[in-house]
Amino acid sequence: MAMLSVGDKAPAINLKDQHGASIKLSQFKGQRVVLYFYPKADTPGCTTQSCALSEALPQMKKLDAVVIGVSPDTVERQLKFDEKYSLGFTLLADTEHAVAEAYGVWGEKMNYGRKYMGIIRSAFVIDEKGKLAGIFYKVSPKDTVPKVTKTLTELP
């Protein structure tokens, strides 16, 4: 798993959103992006993290940032998750986990002594030029909003 560094160019993204539309990271050039990866839609930690970001949308807008969530869930599951919690931002279906691998968030995990491959919950702040301004590997659901907000407020 290759870890990224602040200042690196954000890896490209080309995935379907919860409505089936193709979304590319390049569409957001000139905007700040809060990109977060979560293991599975509609599970407790992922719901906590996603709802916290949804509640922070007005604050994110003031900081000129859009929020994008990514998980290995299908387009249909992403849509159900969005509708159930009225999240109000883009959710991307990375079913082949290619984007997760590019960001260094696909790795070995352990649950109840069982090892498996999955998403390591992480968040990234991407500046207007497409460079990584903040990287938070293994971020807790409750720490996502404070950490990305701090990075966004410190950007020029």
Distance separating alpha carbons of residues 146 and 150, to the nearest angstrom: 6
Q: Is 46 a catalytic residue?
A: yes
CB–CB of 108/100 below 8 Å? no
- Helix (H), strand (E) at residue 55: helix 44-55
Neighbours of 144 (CB within 10 A): 23
Distance separating alpha carbons of residues 123 and 37, to the nearest angstrom: 6
- Here the tokens at position 121 are 């919950």
Catalytic-role residue among 15, 23, 35, 46: 46
> Any idea which residues carry the catalytic annotation?
46
